[in-house]
Amino acid sequence: MRKARKRIGLLLAGVVLTMSLPMAAYAKEGYTYNYDWWMDVQYSPDAYSVAGVFSAKELGLDTVLSAPEGLFVYDRYIYICDTGNNRILELEREAPDSLKVKRIIDSFKGGSGSQTFSAPTDVAVTEDGYIYISDKNNERILKLDMELNYVMEFGKPDDATFDQSMSFNPKKISVDSAGRVYCIAANVNKGLMKFEADGEYSGFTGASKVTFDWTDYVWKKLATKAQREQMESFVPTEYDNLYMDADGFIYVCTSNVSSDELMDGDAAPVRRLNMMGNNILVENGNYPVVGDLYFESGGGFQGPSLFTDVTAMENDIYVVLDKVRGRLFAYDDQGRLLYAFGGIGNIDGYFRRPVALDHMGRDLVVLDSLDGSVTVFVPTLFGDRIFDAIDQFQQGKYYESGETWREVLSMNGNFDLAYIGIGRSLLRQERYQEAMEYFTLKWDGDNYSKAFKQYRKEWVEEHILWLIAGFFLVLCVPLAIGKVKAIKHEIDIADIFRQC
Amino acid sequence: MLASLKKKETYSRYFASLKFSLYCITHPLDGFWDLTHEKRGSLAAANTILFLTLLVRILKLPYTSFMFMMVYWEGINIFLYLASVVFPLALWCVGNWGLTTLFDGKGTLKQVYMATCYGLTPYPLLQLPMIFLSNVITAEEAEFYVVLGSFSMLWVGVLIVAAMMEIHEYKMGKTVLFTIATVFAMLVMVFILLLFFSMISQGVSYFISLYREIIFRL
């Protein structure tokens, strides 16, 4: 008995050992992942690697960053709003893996009010050389020139649409090419506040539509007044952050979402607003742009991904930052997930409380508020090739795009978009049958239909003679046989033959 | 039984009864009356139709275009998949017979089964060409496929109701009433089966844990 037990023990140890070995290998691969057509998690090679993590120590600063909130990248300069220390850091990226403090902005010249900042939360720099700073607790948005001379400020709007009893606390700002300032202010849920270049307030834009379904309406009708007051009121969602892309469209993100709405695709936590303030974000993916599809609670996390910042690159690839699990999600122009990576933790490439995100070319910069650090990510070969393939397709180099997607595929055979990318490239090269194979593999019915339509047309044109012949055979031959039989029958019963 | 397989008329009767299913689906009231009262149907033909239905249902999985049928092969259990036809069919037959036999239904369990299987005829008849159709149409023409699919199901439904009406010699109102009642009877049976299985598995797991405990202490 004891011997048997020992043997079982050995066997168990063996099982545990063999099972733990591949698991150890998988743990590394778990950093970057994607969802396939069936919404199963498919781990992927890393698309980004950490070039460096820079905190006060690495930057050679005396005071540690205190709850920094804002991040802006202009050319090769990174601006950080060190909110708790009332200063703005201007960093220069000298090499891919080195950042140097160029200057510390904690005051400016000119102007009528205070010449220092009080809790600056965001900063924006424009091509024509102005720095815009949202000076939150001083209730103003400052416009300074590069030498830190006061140019003008945008204050609390003197307008009926803005509740005058409320204070004006700008949280996030963005400036378009004409100098118009778009601002997200605290406790304002009517959308983005828009200021003209001359400082005049011109109203709200991009407020989300208030939606409720009829069950809510019925409940409200049935409820007493006291109950009604207890119920949640339907107010538009407040935005968390905004980003002006190269085409002048504004990406906004919000974390005021419920998980039900997210999975229905009604929540739209990421939006792309046009000049009219309408959401024009393309969501052609198999699932809506919501970050993680599964949000089991565990490890101290619960609930869906909550986006705290968004940034968009030149080719309409946009990346969103989830503050719950510290993950970055990159989507292409069709709203399909390219890759997701990151996490909460203390190692490089993980964050403690990520708050802001921006990009420098293809590199990503993430600001960690709790850690007081900036993480710079550079794309790996895998990430670079994905960018290349999308770029080439957008430029009309379909053949090259297909070849690049093949390269991506050789690095990650579980990447659905690579198959579809090759298929789309083949489709453009009019190689329909091959394209159909690739679309079939990854369940892309729409593109498959496009390819199949052309293939079917070609097939019919090639085989038209056979088709007509087949049709003729099916239709005319039984008819002819019937006729022959009828004649034969008539001959058989004809009187003239009967007599002989 | 074996001796009868050697006789030629056995086959001619089998094929005649199988061919009669085509008459049934186009003339349900007349056809289903003759099915039992004129003995023009046969159990062998009914089994054949059920077999064809199951066969077509399996063939649909790999051969339907992926645009209309997305098969998660990792999650397919062929027996469970077939049970999705056979199990409701068995419940229907038993439930319907059990109820109608109490309320002047003239049909026997065998006849209920036979008539229901004959009612399934449009399914293999339409779904088999639809497998081919699905491979020659694009997403824009998907409506043809969808309409044809719903039509085949609707046809089957109408046929089964008509069959029950004829074999039990019921009026229309009574048939509808007992169709609904049968559905409820099926639900009750499912409930009892679930209860039964959960009780059994609880009982088994009790003895398994008892055995484990004893082995552990030895």
Residues of A in contact with B139 (CB under 8 A): 445-446, 448-449
Angle, alpha carbons B26-B151-B165 (nearest 5°): 50
Whether residues B67 and A453 touch (CB distance < 8 A) is answered with: no
Question: Which tokens go with A343?
Answer: 């996490």
Sheet containing A41-43: give its strands across.
A41-43, A32-35, A337-342, A327-331, A318-322, A307-312
Residue B111 structure tokens: 């006849």
Q: What DSSP line would sit under A203-220, residue for residue?
A: EEE-PPPP---HHHHHHH
A141 Cα distance to chain centroid:
28
Question: A430 and A305 in one domain?
Answer: no
Tell me whether residue A317 is in a domain. yes
The CA-atom distances, in angstroms, between A33 and each of A48, A308, A338, A373, B11 are 12, 20, 9, 25, 61
Q: How many CB atoms lie within 10 A of CB A114?
A: 12
Question: How many structural domains compose chain A?
Answer: 3
Q: Based on the fold, state whether residues A301 and A444 are members of the same structural domain.
A: no
Nearest Cβ partner for A449 among B70, B140, B218: B140
Range of the domain at A353: 45-210+236-379
Least Cα separation, residue B62 to chain A (angstroms): 13
Check whether residue A340 and residue A440 sit in a common domain: no
Task: Give the residue among A448, A445, A37 at the shortest CA–CA distance from B67.
Answer: A445
Query: Is residue A8 scored above 70 in pLDDT?
Result: no
In this predicted model, what pLDDT tens digit does every residue of A380-401 receive, in sequence order? Answer: 999 999 999 999 999 999 999 9
A135 vs A496, residue with greater confidence: A135
Please identify, among A379, A410, A429, the residue that sits at the C-terminal boundary of a domain. A379
Residues A352 and A428 in one domain: no
Query: Per-residue pLDDT averaged across A241-250, rounded?
Result: 91
Whether A449 and A308 map to the same domain: the answer is: no
DSSP A109: B
The reply to whether A446 and A340 lie within a common domain is no
Please check whether residues A204 and A163 belong to one and the same domain: yes
Q: What is the CATH number of the domain that holds A178?
A: 2.120.10.30
Question: Is residue A227 a part of any domain in this protein?
Answer: no
Q: Cβ separation of A456 and B136 shorter than 8 Å?
A: yes
ipTM greater than 0.85, yes or no?
A: no
Neighbours of A410 (CB within 10 A): 10
Q: Give the tens place of pLDDT for each residue, B43-81.
A: 999 999 999 999 999 999 999 999 898 888 888 999 999
Q: Which of A133, A193, A188, A134 is nearest to A165 (CA)?
A: A188
User: Which residue type occupies A108?
Assistant: F
Distances (CA, A) of A206 to A279, A467, B39: 8, 57, 74
* Residues A295, A319 share a domain: yes
Q: At what angle do helices A445-462 and A416-428 cross, to 10 degrees?
A: 30
Q: What is the pLDDT of residue A33?
A: 93
What percentage of chain B reaches a pLDDT higher than 70?
99
Instruction: Indicate the residue type of B209.
Output: S
One domain for residues A373 and A404: no
Residues A185 and A332 reside in one and the same domain: yes
Domain contains A35: no
Contact A434, A426 (CB under 8 A): yes
In-domain check, residue A126 = yes
User: Which residue from A minimizes the CA distance to B135?
Assistant: A452
Residues of chain A found within 8 Å of residue B66, distances taken between Cβ atoms: 440, 443, 445, 448
Asked if residue A34 is part of any domain, the answer here is: no
Residue A475 lies in a domain: yes
Q: Hey, where are the domains in chain B?
A: 11-217
Would you call A449 and B136 a contact, using CB atoms and an 8 Å cutoff? no
Tell me which residue in B70, B72, B139 faces A446 most closely, judged by beta carbons.
Answer: B139
Give the DSSP per-residue string, A35-68. Answer: E-TT--EEE---SEEEEEEE-HHHHT-SSPP-S-
Q: What is the pLDDT of residue A211?
A: 66
A247 and A158 in one domain? yes
Residues of A within 8 A of B215 (CB-CB) are none
Residue A121 lies in a domain: yes
Whether pLDDT at A161 is above 60: yes
pLDDT of residue A17: 41
SS3 label, residue A483: helix
Q: Based on the fold, state whether residues A375 and A415 are members of the same structural domain.
A: no
User: Does residue A31 fall inside a structural domain?
Assistant: no
The span from the CA of A134 to the CA of A84, in Å, is 14
The answer to whether the CB atoms of B67 and A1 lie below 8 A apart is no
| Nearest partner of A120 among A150, A104, A141, judged by Cα | A141
pLDDT class for A460, splitting at 50, 70, 90? Answer: very high
Partners of B138 on chain A (C-beta within 8 Å) are 449-450, 452-453, 456
Among chain A residues, CA nearest to B68 = A445
Residue A11 has pLDDT above 50, yes or no: no
